[in-house]
Amino acid sequence: MAQSGRISRPAWLSHWPGLVAALLLVVLVFGTLLAVALRAEGGRGLGPADWAAIRFTLWQAVLSAGVSVVLAIPVARALARRSFTGRTALVTLLGAPFILPIIVVVLGLIAVFGNKGIISITLSVFGFEPISIYGYHGVILAHVFFNLPLATRLILQGWLSIPAERFRLAASLGMGPTDIARLLERPMLREVIPGAFLVIFLICLTSFAVALTLGGGPRATTVELAIYEAFKFDFNLGRAALLALIQFAMGAGGALIAFRIAMPGDMGTGLDRAVQRWDDSPIQRVMDVVFITLASLFLLLPLMMVVLNGVPGLLSLPPSVFQAAIRSLVVALGSAFLTLTLAMSIAALVVQRGAWLVEGLGYLTIAASPLVVGTGLFLILFPFVKPSDLALPVTALVNAAMSLPFALRALVPALTSVERDYGALADGLGLHGLTRVRLLWLPRMRQPIGFALGLAAALSMGDLGVIAMFADSQGVTLPLQLYRLMGAYRMEDAAAAAVLLLGLSLLLFWIFDRGGRVNADT
Amino acid sequence: MLTLEDTWVDMGDFTLAADLSVPEGRRVAVLGPSGAGKSTLLAMIAGFQPLTRGRVMWRGAPMTDDPAARPISMVFQDNNLFPHLTVTQNVGLGLRPDLRLTREDRNRVEAALARVGLTGKGARKPAQLSGGQIARVALARVLLRDRPILLLDEPFDALGPALRAEMLDLVGELARETKATLLMVSHNPEDARVMSDDVILVVDGRAYAPVPTAQIFDNPPDALRDYLGR
């Protein structure tokens, strides 16, 4: 068996599904970019409002990434060196914000940090002024909510990658906490932090829903929000296209930097153990408890407030909300299965032709912004059809494209190992084409397929982006309906709709992910 | 006659050359140190390893590229069964790769299972079987595939000595019944002595032409003597 790793087998599947899928993504990104470029109006160049949007986009992304990473270090350190009941649950919770609908989180944050939120109420008891969440600090707060957990997981991964023997060696040499920090922990942080910072910076660069709900105005408008406003308020397609070009340039710049810095991958496994150490002290213990408690409260309180505020109104929700929910479910399911089809086709191509393709598509979606793609599609479709007629399919398509890198990250390693273990057997028995997909791939890859479907469905369910540009007053999705309820100050209905949206998103993820796990013959 | 006509594979840091023939119906052991290329030799014959040069012939005609269309059944060291399929389905793949089995197909599967001593185990999944039973399922599929060449790549090396002897006996019987030409990679020279007519020695990047077993063990060449350690 010594040479089996080197055996390269003849192609047993046609390449075209993978090529078509990859091409679709490339056309979606660059075709829409071309449409945008052709339509962009330089005119008098960039106005002061445009420059303000660019400055704010970059500035808030830097600040959000910085605050997330700095706060994540003590939380990750505490998680790395403490075992306690609920640690596994907390680490799992740290992965959850990724699939939470942004608008639901925003509502939760308003309930905690808003001027009628629990902090403001507490302050007023002591005679202080209530605080406000609207503005740049609200945008950054929401970004930290979403990215502090991600940063914590990435840094925790770094901590746990330090071999346990090093800590034992440090203990046997009599090193104190400062020595360990200098010799073991800071070198690790220097490796991990640039990548973590960059990942979050790039995520915040394409922030639309947060800016839409908490930002706005001259001091808190991102470029993506400016694109949307150019569309919705001025219907100035030339200016929207110009802003979309700027957004793409920023994303492409970020992707170029990402190309040079090793980007960390959140493996999501192996985080469920703590490292044993011998340099404990009461002060450290207290600090760790404080940081873990604060981080848990910061993550859980807003979500608990959403549920508490929303559940009473669930039964009295207007029918329009349920109609929107059904529309969202259809979009989410369509988008999830489109993601799976594209990802499986590309994965099949990748296991035969090498992983560069995955990397390439990954960078492509870093550079692309859903709103820029949406702008391009709008410009292309506008002369021929009423864009609102295609709002739902376009949303499903763009969501699928944006979920694709995550699906590939789950499916490609799985398919690689299936082919490594059973490829020769399947070849020898003549399992070709769809027979191979049906009898080998689908059953052997149930777990990653379930995860990918769940992720794609949840992301699409909660998405508030392209739909906001395309939809008219009819045919809205649940997140957009929720946003409109907030805009109309119908906060009770909004809170109840948020519970519905939160529940459906988590349910979609759970059903698919669970479906991939039960009765899996591993 | 199975012929490797001036075949050569070049994988950069590893090469293997073979120019040899095996007469039909012979039972051949493939011996050699680990890493020498015993498995690669079988992969070349089975069509899993593209050749840099040369060709593999059967009864005077070159074999097709598609491994499934070659006159070959192969049993690997592990992963011979799909864990998500039942025993019946795993064996049934030998009749129909798309698993659309007719009643008659099912009867043939049941008969093959009975032949290897697994009557009534058809509904089980591989996880519910012992190592010896898993090997038997793979052999039942070989029976149904009914191909003239049987390649075994250390299939029983993970089994205990008694079980391995039992499985080798079964393979011997099946090969006799089907008149198959047998090539088996083994780490155990004793296996070769017991059940093979000929030995192919693979060493130093070359697979040597088969030599009768008795002859090679009575008067081993240097390479085999080094390998055997005597």
DSSP assignment string, A238-267: HHHHHHHHHHHHHHHHHHHHHHHSPPP---
Across the interface, which of A4, A430, A521 has its CB nearest the CB of B127?
A521
Residues of chain B with pLDDT under 70: 230
Separation in Å, CA of A433 to nearest CA in chain B: 10
Nearest CA-CA distance, residue A4 and chain B, Å: 7
**ipTM for the whole complex:** 0.83
In sequence order, the β-bridge partners of residue A507 are none
Put simply, the answer to whether B82 touches A421 (Cβ < 8 Å) is: no
Closest CA–CA distance from residue B61 to any residue of chain A (Å): 19
Chain A interface includes B43 (CB < 8 A): yes
Nearest to A509 by CA among A410, A380, A372, A368: A410
- Minimal Cβ distance to B40: which of A3, A422, A440: A3
List the one residue out of B52, B45, B50 whose CA is nearest residue B22: B45
β-pair partners for B16? B9
Nearest CB among B11, B67, B84 relative to A521 is that of: B84
State the best of B15, B34, B42, B48 to mutate against chain A, taking most chain A CBs within 10 Å. B48
| Interchain proximity A521–B125, CB inside 8 Å | yes
Residue A79 CA to residue A87 CA, distance in Å, equals 8
DSSP summary character for residue A11: P
* Per-block mean pLDDT, blocks of 10 residues, chain A (522 long): 41 75 89 87 77 94 96 94 87 88 95 90 87 91 95 91 84 84 90 91 91 89 92 85 90 83 61 73 89 94 94 91 96 97 90 75 79 89 88 93 89 90 90 90 93 95 91 88 92 94 95 83 58
Q: Chain B residues with CB inside 8 Å of A431's CB?
A: 68, 93, 97
Structure tokens at A360: 């390439």
Contact B50 A431 (CB under 8 A): no
**Which amino acid is present at A489?**
Y
Distance CA B172, CA B178 (A): 10
Count of CB atoms situated within 10 Å of the CB of A258: 19
A425 touches chain B (CB under 8 A): yes
SS3 A34: helix
SS3 B214: helix
Distances (CA, A) of B224 to A358, B40, B199, B216: 47, 19, 11, 9
Scan residues 181-210 of B and list those with Cβ closer than 8 Å to A.
none
Instruction: List the single residue in B with minimal CA-CA distance to A436.
Output: B98
| Nearest by CB: A7 against B48, B85, B98 | B48
Among residues B99, B2, B110, B106, the alpha carbon closest in space to that of B56 is found at B2
Contact B167, B20 (CB under 8 A): no
Torsion of Cα atoms, A262 then A266 then A270 then A271, to 10°? 110
CB contact under 8 A, B73 and A3: no
Contact between B153 and A424 (Cβ < 8 Å): no
Taking residue A235's Cβ as centre, other Cβ atoms within 10 Å add up to 9
CB nearest to B43's CB, from A7, A432, A439: A7
Distance in angstroms (rounded) separating the CA atoms of residues B133 and B164: 12
DSSP bridge partners of B7: B18
- Tell me what pLDDT residue A103 has: 95
Nearest-Cα residue of chain A relative to residue B13: A6
A458–chain B nearest CA distance, Å: 28
Q: Are A470 and A51 in contact (CB under 8 A)?
A: no
Confidence at residue A278, expressed as pLDDT on a 0 to 100 scale? 76
Whether A150 and A143 have beta carbons less than 8 Å apart is answered as: no
Nearest to A435 among B34, B98, B153 (CB): B98
Q: Which residues of B touch A6 (CB under 8 A)?
A: 11, 14
Cα A355 to the center of its chain, rounded Å: 22
Distance from C-alpha of B50 to C-alpha of B42, rounded to nearest angstrom: 12
Residues of A in contact with B82 (CB under 8 A): 422, 425, 439-440, 443-444
Specify the pLDDT at position B125.
93
Which residues, in sequence order, are CB contacts of A389 under 8 Å at separation 6+?
Answer: none
Residues 6+ apart with CB under 8 A from B140: B91, B94, B109, B112, B113, B115, B116, B118
Which residues from chain B sit within 8 angstroms of residue A520, using beta carbons? 84
Q: Which residues of B are less than 8 Å from A437 in CB distance?
A: none
Burial class (CB in 10 A: 0-12, 13-18, 19+), A46: middle
Reported as half-sphere exposure (CB side, CA atoms, 13 A), residue B114 has a value of 6
Token pair 């960059």 is at which residue?
Answer: A198
Lookup: tokens for B101: 């089995």
Tokens of A388: 């609102």
Burial A51-67, CB ≥16 within 10 A → b, else e: ebbbebbbebbebbbeb
Instruction: Tell me the pTM.
Output: 0.85
3-state SS class at B58: strand
Contacts of range B186-189, beta carbons closer than 8 Å, 24 or more positions apart: B186/B29, B186/B30, B186/B31, B186/B154, B186/B157, B187/B34, B187/B154, B187/B157, B188/B157, B188/B164, B189/B31, B189/B217, B189/B228
CA nearest neighbour of B193 among B175, B208, B213: B213
Mutate to test the interface with A, among B49, B65, B100 (most CBs of A within 10 A): B49
Nearest alpha carbon to residue A395 among A304, A301, A331: A331
